[in-house]
Structure 1
Amino acid sequence: MPIPAPVLYPPFQVVRLNHIVLSVSDLSRSRAFWADTLGLQVTGEADDRLYLRAMEERGHHCVVLERGEEPRARVLGFKVYAEEDLDRARHFFRARGLPAEFVEAPHQGRTLRCKDPLGVPLEFYFAMEKLPSIHQRYALYRGVKPLRIDHFNCFSDDVQASVDFYNALGFRTTEYTECEQTGRLWAAWMHRKGGVHDMAFTHGVGPRLHHVAFWVPTPLNIIDLLDLMATTGYVANIERGPGRHGISNAFFLYVRDPDGHRIELYCSDYLTADPDHEPIRWDLRDPQRQTLWGAPAPRSWFEEGTPFPDTPPRQPVYEASPIVAA
């Protein structure tokens, strides 16, 4: 089996994912989509930057939009358990010859910026500026009513290498896809917070960001968002869904922001907190793997993603053929 044994006592403790930094071409246009349409709350604004959070989050931000010439996923952010874990993380990355430096990050405490072995830019922090709770301020709820950031999914040119590295950090695999013809790993879903995933990897030209996902209260909120997007000029931004994944059991919708960044709206997955939770295997050619109801994903879902800065994407280490919609 291509899934390594879980590391229950990793070299430093990651609590969960927390935030993403994306470059966008027009902050006003992005605000109209991310805040006024999706429903994230604006927590800070500058000439070149917009900060947002979801409804149950207490930290200052889960999304940072920065003005840039080209769409890029600038960094994927994670929270650690204690201040000391930042020093342990720096030692871990540097011992493997990987870049790791402390940087200034607004609204965050000491922040470690680094890269994984395939070139995905990461940062780890312990303390972030706290904001008053707005979870029960229902007058603020708009769009799809996003409650929290849920996960990242990245294209990886070597899914096995990605899984091996994040497994060493204590990320545990919940589900995975294996290519029956080659016996190799095609995709994997890995978690820290006790859901199906904080980080997932999909076979493809990479590394690139495939999508960032937000947890929403119910499938009906996704239907409401579809009605809103279809009548406010965003119908072309609806890429895939709604549907229910075989993997994770989640009810989902994929949309694209004005710069092409892919966003998943997501609910109804399951608890994975037990340390002896056994991963579920799927075959790449199983039509219910992508969507429990059998509908395949469009070609764009397998081919298009957001590049990371200073990390040229590479062709995958082996060829595989998923089921693609005609």
Structure 2
Amino acid sequence: MSEQRELVRHIAHLSHLELLTPRAEESLRFFRDVLGMEEVVRQGQSVYLRGWGQYEQYCLKLTESAQAGIGHTAFRTVSPQALERCAVAIEQSGYGLGWTDGDQGHGRTYAFLDTDGHKFEIYYETEPYQAPPHLRPALKNQPQKYPARGVSVRQLDHVNLLAQQVEPSSRFLQDHLGLRVSEQIVLDNGTTAGSWLYSGQKAYELVYTVDAKNARGRLHHIAFCVDTREDVMRAADVLIEHDLDIEGGPAKHAIQQTIFLYTFEPGGNRIEICSGGYLIFAPDWEPITWTQAERAKGQAWRTPTIASFHTYGTPIVEE
């Protein structure tokens, strides 16, 4: 067995994402009417939206921008002390951007970049969601009633970021946030082509995969979860009813074992609807390593990985 470093947990969970879109109103209709998310508030060029199962106020900050892509990825820490520890370590690394007073629904925030140029934010103080009368649930341990609109996504599941070099960015989050690797792809030449990172028991919340365009700071996709496999199948019907293209799926990933479906929101960003996966209970979990030959076999049911999955990201890079 390989030597294990002491596990020090700093991060509670992936909290929210800021998604950039050049077609703000059409993107808003997609997330609200097709995915079934609730609009929480509007501020400036941004709209804040939530899935029905989020305990925080929102999981998506949709911001109008000249081009598609990701604005920032936010994590909540396990304590105020963990926030301070992470901020000090990141500041010493030279990748820190500094403190802000926070954003809608959460307090003091430390912002930084990873080694590929993606922007991150970490915070601890948060304001739990309080449902208005028309959204109050029958069960007090549920933050909001089920909307029964469109796909009706429960919550933000994960984000996949593209990177020129996967290993430095993955290592940076491991060293400074305490994230751990659940699975990875290592090519025949020894290069890490994919790294799946987790903070608690959910097997992944953030993924780095290699950018085929050799660009920096791009987004591959963001994912929202539903409860069952059948919900993913139903999502396919909902997308078709709204005349939206399905890029891939429904099918099953080999890595992480999630049932998946991929589409694009009107701004051009790739969106995944998913269900399933597994939990990690072992404190001494060893990363699962997939070889180049194993990944060439395709997905879990031997369905081939679609070509655009390897090449498309946002912002779009011109040839």
TM normalised by structure 1 equals 0.86
- State the Cα deviation string for residues 222-273 of structure 1 (Å, max 9, x = none): 1111111112221x2x211110011111101111110111111111111113
Q: CA deviation at 1:49?
A: 1.6
Specify which of 98, 110, 113 is matched with residue 111 of structure 2.
Answer: 113
Does residue 266 (structure 1) correspond to residue 274 (structure 2)? The answer is yes
* 2:201 partner letter: G
Alpha-carbon distance, 1:25 to partner: 2.3
Q: Which moved more, 1:47-56 or 1:240-249?
A: 47-56
Secondary structure of the structure 1 residue equivalent to 2:130? coil
Corresponding position: 1:151 with 2:158: yes
SS state of the match for residue 193, structure 2? strand
Q: Quick one: which amino acid aligns to residue 257 of structure 1?
A: E
Cα separation, 2, equivalents of 1:136 and 1:89: 29
Which residue identity lines up with residue 178 of structure 2 in the other structure? G
Amino acid at match of 2:12: V
1:189 aligns with 2:196: yes
Q: 2:220 aligns with which of 207, 210, 219?
A: 210
Q: How does 1:196-275 map to 2 (within 5 A)?
A: 196-204=203-211, 205=214, 206-234=216-244, 236=245, 238-275=246-283
- Sort the Cα spacing of 1:71 and 1:194 in 2 relative to 1 into closer, same or farther, 3 A: same
**Partner of residue 161, structure 1:** 168
Distance in 1 (CA, whole Å) between partners of 2:6 and 2:191 is 21
Please list every run of at least 4 consecutive aligned residues from structure 1 whose deviation after the TM superposition is greater than 3 angstroms: 3-7, 133-139, 287-290
Q: What is the CA–CA distance in structure 2 between the aligned matches of 1:7 and 1:290, rounded to whole Å? A: 35
Residues 25-58 of structure 1: CA deviation (Å, up to 9, x unaligned): 2332112100110111111124522111111112
1:61 corresponds to? 58
1:82 equivalent to 2:89? Answer no
Which residue is equivalent to 1:100?
97
Structure 1 pair 171–227 and aligned structure 2 pair: CA distance change class (3 A): same
- Cα distance, 1:198 vs structure 2: 1.2
- Aligned length in residues: 303
Q: Distance in 2 between matches of 1:43 and 1:130?
A: 12
Q: Secondary structure at the match of 1:132?
A: coil
CA displacement, residues 170-201 of structure 1 (integer Å, 9 cap, x when unaligned): 1111111111x212221111100311211111
Question: Deviation at 1:106?
Answer: 2.5
- Indicate the residue corresponding to 2:134 in structure 1: none
Q: CA RMSD in A?
A: 2.3
Identity %: 26
Q: Determine the C-alpha separation between the residues in 2 that align with 1:222 and 1:188.
A: 25
1:91 corresponds to 2:101:
no
Other structure's SS at 2:303 match: coil
Distance in structure 1 (CA, Å) of the matches to 2:232 and 2:75: 26
Decide whether aligned partners of structure 1 residues 93 and 220 sit closer, same or farther in structure 2, where only a CA change above 3 A counts: same
Report the secondary structure of 1:109's partner residue: coil
CA distance in 1, matches of 2:196, 2:150: 27
Query: In the alignment, is residue 303 of structure 1 matched against residue 311 of structure 2?
Result: yes
- Code of the residue aligned with 2:39 in structure 1: it is V
How many Å separate the matches in 2 of 1:45 and 1:162? 32
Q: Does 1:29 align with 2:37?
A: no
Name the aligned partner's letter for residue 82 of structure 1: S
Secondary structure in structure 2 of the residue aligned to 1:151: strand
CA contact (8 A) 1:27 1:50 kept: no
Distance 1:42 1:7, change over 3 A: farther
* Alpha-carbon distance between aligned partners in 1 of 2:97 and 2:63, rounded to the nearest angstrom: 22
Q: Following TM superposition, by how much is the alpha carbon of 1:63 offset from its aligned partner in structure 2, in angstroms?
A: 0.1
- TM-score normalised over the length of structure 2: 0.88
Conserved in 2, the CA contact under 8 Å of 1:246 and 1:288? no
Consecutive unaligned residues in structure 1, runs of 5 or more: 314-326
Q: Does the CA contact (< 8 Å) of 2:52 and 2:145 recur in 1?
A: no
